[in-house]
């Protein structure tokens, strides 16, 4: 057949790096030159032999059109004469052009092709027609919706058809993955027609070997598939040195039962739920004792491995450390890189993912007890291949940083949060250095945890979290930050992390903000707050939706004299920044803390706009004030009361008392995205700029803007009031009262 015919034409130049003589596999620098294989990782680092499981198989691949890699055999030397014409080949590719070419080539090679555009259609076809209807399947691996790997798995589970995968870049890992998923062979695009012509051998062999399979019976598909690849070559010895994993040595692995097939472990998605559980356990154990094994046991999540936990713990520690170490650096609004970095850890703080029911979770519940149903039967959520694209679940905490998130449906952010992977951005916290590591960690933990999220309401579509806002406020998030030192008493976050708090009475709060001077700009966002942001749609630093202006402000708590200063500074800054809507939210976002302002009367509303970011306000109390009544304004429902607490040394009692008066926040809410009409209150409209306000202890005096709010607006029909005030309050209080404030009660 026209050997001239080549699939080369079907694929765009640049994607592949293969030519007849030398092969440069892929974008990661894997090279295949003159019989010698050089393996490099994504960064161009040459990998040691140990990391080259396919080495041998790879070599073999060169030279042979196809082979039965699945069984680790050399391709049967089949006589051309045996070529069975008319084999029915199902070709799957989402690219029409490629598919056409493939079909043409197959036809050219005397096969009888049937092409389908995507994986799902292919699977459907296979199910409808039955496996007997086809002799072979050849599929591209990179397809949306259902990629080749998924298709491979499903086909493998449901039928016994040889499947050959096509990979665009020829990356070893991809090939290997395909083999592990059951592909009997792989062909790198652009594929030479000779390879296509030889695929019939798989069919022949399959029929042949059917018997041979007896052995595979016990092994699951997994094993049978991969092993071959590795063990194949004779020469491999050296390379396999480390490889031992699969080779005989596996004793170690075997013992642990780890030997599991070569199947790769499914990727675990650390959803907000899962992460929250993790945090709880960590808190319970205490930083010192929080080691992977113990955490794993306490988490009691099915299918979660120690390694998974260790990895997450590693990341968490890294987060804590970063927080600790990072000197506050003033950041300018524009410091995107910085914010980005932080973003990666954001998720580490407690996610607001918990459903309201779960609100209390924190500490008080015994984790060991039944895990929240949210986690699902297994508790674990494995990421679907494409999850990243669609979800971001940040517990609401994090705003999406990535653009990709933007695309995601804002809606239901909260609602789904629990199962969504959390975005990992940790809020940045700055601690003062100098403390003992543990001590710092402890603090951090507390902080971090604090945030709890109010529940998510399913109904809401929008991103935003619920913000109850009391009637009055709409201030955007205001955080009160206390001066570092003063932060000492944290009352406990409202929502959650009670436990942590409880534990350390003395603990000081980490200080969230850096210095007074730069309160906002710094990323100082208090972690705890961050957590709290929860509901709100926090916009995380990076970006939020453009449209929405969000504003979060941090407020320092002023207990001390610093307050004054602080305020001034803020004001100044504000002035500078003032609100442009859209503008960088970054600055603010990190600091967002939800505030609770509970207005007594106002019903909290959930602000749902996706873009909307609620403003949270933390209440701080400056020194003195105390207002008698509680007023929680609606910032974030979640905001833990504790935080509100007071700044200065005030008593831990922090609660509500202070809140009210002290805060004066007028923040602005913006609504983003979407329509302006959105749920926000009218004033909030996107166009509205917010003002920042600080809360200061005393009256709003300090220069801050008064808030004006019309509670009524929140009730607009447009709004979806999801959270009822009463409930909201109840939750809050309940948590405050029972948990948060009572440390001992918790764990």
Partner DNA sequence: ACGGAAATAT
Partner DNA sequence: GATATTTCCG
Kindly list the residues in this chain that would bind DNA in the complex (CB under 7 A). Answer: 41-43, 45, 47-48, 50-51, 171, 173-174, 176-177, 242, 245, 256, 264-270, 291-294, 306-308, 310-315, 317, 340-341, 343-345, 347, 383, 385-388, 421-425
Among residues 473 and 533, whose Cβ is nearest to DNA? Answer: 533
Closest CA to 595 of 707, 518, 435: 707
Among residues 315 and 435, whose Cβ is nearest to DNA? Answer: 315
Pair 199, 161: CB distance under 8 Å = no
Among residues 134 and 186, whose Cβ is nearest to DNA? Answer: 186
Q: What is d(CA 562, CA 257) in angstroms, rounded to the nearest whole number?
A: 59
Pair 664, 495: CB distance under 8 Å = no
**Least separation in angstroms between CB 490 and DNA:** 26
Among residues 73 and 317, whose Cβ is nearest to DNA? Answer: 317
Beta strands across the sheet bearing 23-25: 23-25, 30-33, 36-38
**Least separation in angstroms between CB 87 and DNA:** 31
Among residues 270 and 714, whose Cβ is nearest to DNA? Answer: 270
Q: What is d(CA 242, CA 261) in angstroms, rounded to the nearest whole number?
A: 17
C-alpha to C-alpha distances, 31 to 23, 165, 172, 311, nearest whole angstrom: 6, 20, 10, 31
**Least separation in angstroms between CB 341 and DNA:** 5
Among residues 340 and 715, whose Cβ is nearest to DNA? Answer: 340
**Least separation in angstroms between CB 90 and DNA:** 24
Among residues 282 and 487, whose Cβ is nearest to DNA? Answer: 282
Give the CA radius of gyration of the chain: 29
**Least separation in angstroms between CB 27 and DNA:** 9
**Least separation in angstroms between CB 301 and DNA:** 12
Three-state SS at 414: helix
- Which ranges of 452-594 does DSSP label H, i.e. alpha helix? 498-503, 527-533, 562-577, 586-590
Long-range contacts of range 433-440, CB-CB < 8 Å, 24 or more positions apart? 433/324, 433/325, 433/327, 437/324, 438/287, 438/288, 440/320, 440/324, 440/510
**Least separation in angstroms between CB 408 and DNA:** 13
**Least separation in angstroms between CB 263 and DNA:** 8
Among residues 50 and 675, whose Cβ is nearest to DNA? Answer: 50
In the block, tokens 């705890």 appear at 528
Q: What is d(CA 527, CA 535) in angstroms, rounded to the nearest whole number?
A: 15
Pair 465, 454: CB distance under 8 Å = yes
How many CA atoms does the CB half-sphere of 615 hold within 13 Å?
43
Q: Residue 121, Cα to own-chain centre: how many angstroms?
A: 30
Among residues 250 and 459, whose Cβ is nearest to DNA? Answer: 250
Pair 356, 456: CB distance under 8 Å = yes
**Least separation in angstroms between CB 169 and DNA:** 11
Three-state SS at 539: coil
């Amino acid at each position: 057949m026209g050997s001239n015919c080549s699939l080369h034409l079907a694929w765009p130049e640049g994607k592949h790096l293969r030519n007849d003589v030398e092969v440069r596999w892929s974008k990661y620098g894997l090279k295949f030159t003159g019989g010698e294989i050089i393996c490099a990782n994504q960064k161009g680092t040459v990998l040691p032999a140990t990391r080259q499981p396919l080495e041998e198989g790879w070599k073999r691949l060169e030279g042979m059109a196809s082979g039965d890699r699945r069984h680790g055999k050399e391709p049967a030397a089949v006589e051309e004469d045996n070529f069975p014409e008319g084999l029915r080949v199902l070709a799957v590719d989402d690219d029409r052009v490629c598919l056409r070419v493939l079909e043409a080539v197959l036809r050219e090679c005397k096969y009888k092709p049937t092409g389908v555009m995507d994986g799902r259609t292919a699977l459907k076809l296979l199910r409808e027609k039955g496996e007997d209807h086809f002799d072979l399947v050849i599929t591209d691996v990179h397809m949306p919706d259902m990629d080749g790997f998924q298709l491979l798995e499903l086909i493998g589970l449901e039928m016994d058809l040889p499947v050959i995968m096509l990979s665009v870049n020829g990356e070893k890992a991809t090939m290997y993955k395909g083999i592990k998923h059951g592909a009997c062979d792989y062909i790198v695009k652009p594929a030479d027609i000779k390879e296509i012509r030889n695929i019939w051998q798989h069919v022949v062999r399959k029929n042949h070997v059917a018997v041979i399979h007896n052995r595979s019976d016990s092994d699951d598909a997994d094993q049978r598939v991969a092993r071959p690849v590795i063990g194949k070559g004779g020469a491999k010895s050296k390379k396999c040195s480390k490889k031992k994993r699969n080779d005989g040595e596996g004793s170690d692995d075997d013992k642990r039962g780890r030997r599991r097939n070569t199947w790769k472990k499914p990727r675990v998605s650390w959803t907000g739920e899962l992460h929250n559980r993790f945090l709880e356990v960590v808190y319970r154990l205490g930083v010192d004792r929080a080691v992977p094994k113990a955490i794993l046991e306490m988490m009691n999540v099915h299918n979660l491995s120690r390694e998974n936990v260790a990895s997450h713990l590693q990341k968490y520690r890294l987060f804590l450390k970063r927080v600790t170490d990072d000197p506050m650096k003033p950041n300018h609004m524009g410091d995107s890189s910085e914010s980005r970095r932080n973003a990666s850890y954001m998720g580490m703080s407690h996610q607001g993912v918990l459903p309201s029911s779960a609100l209390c979770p924190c500490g008080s519940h015994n984790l060991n007890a039944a895990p929240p149903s949210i986690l699902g039967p297994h508790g674990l959520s494995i990421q679907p291949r494409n999850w990243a694209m669609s979800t971001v679940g940040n517990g609401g905490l994090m705003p999406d940083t990535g653009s990709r998130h933007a695309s995601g449906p804002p809606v239901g952010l909260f609602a789904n949060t629990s199962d969504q992977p959390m975005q990992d951005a940790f809020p940045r916290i700055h601690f003062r250095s100098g403390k003992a590591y543990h001590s710092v960690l402890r603090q951090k933990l507390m902080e971090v945890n604090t945030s709890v999220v109010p529940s998510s309401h399913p109904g809401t579509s929008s991103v935003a979290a619920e913000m109850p806002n009391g009637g009055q406020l709409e201030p955007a998030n205001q955080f009160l930050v206390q001066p570092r030192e003063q932060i000492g008493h944290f009352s406990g976050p409202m929502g959650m992390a009670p436990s942590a708090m409880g534990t350390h009475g003395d603990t000081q709060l980490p200080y969230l903000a850096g210095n007074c001077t730069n309160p906002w700009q710094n990323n100082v966002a208090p972690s705890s707050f961050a957590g709290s942001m929860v509901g709100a749609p926090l916009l995380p630093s990076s970006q939020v939706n453009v449209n929405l202006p969000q504003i979060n402000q941090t407020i320092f708590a002023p207990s001390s004299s610093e307050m004054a200063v602080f305020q001034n500074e803020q004001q100044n800054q504000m002035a500078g920044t003032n609100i442009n809507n859209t503008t960088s939210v970054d600055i603010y976002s990190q600091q967002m803390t939800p505030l609770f302002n509970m207005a007594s009367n106002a019903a909290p509303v959930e602000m749902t706009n996706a873009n909307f970011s609620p403003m949270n306000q933390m209440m701080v109390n400056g020194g003195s004030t105390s207002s008698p009544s509680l007023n929680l304004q609606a910032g974030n429902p979640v905001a833990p009361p504790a935080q509100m607490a007071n700044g200065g040394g005030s008593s831990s009692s922090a609660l509500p008392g202070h809140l009210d008066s002290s805060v004066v926040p007028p923040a602005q809410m913006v609504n983003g995205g979407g329509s302006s009409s959105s749920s926000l209150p009218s004033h909030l409209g996107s166009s509205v700029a917010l003002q920042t306000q600080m809360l200061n202890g005393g009256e709003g005096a300090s220069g801050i803007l008064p808030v004006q709010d019309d509670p009524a607006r929140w009730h607009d029909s447009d709004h979806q009031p999801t959270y009822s005030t009463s409930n909201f309050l109840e939750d809050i209080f309940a948590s405050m009262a029972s948990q948060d404030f009572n440390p001992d009660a918790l764990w």
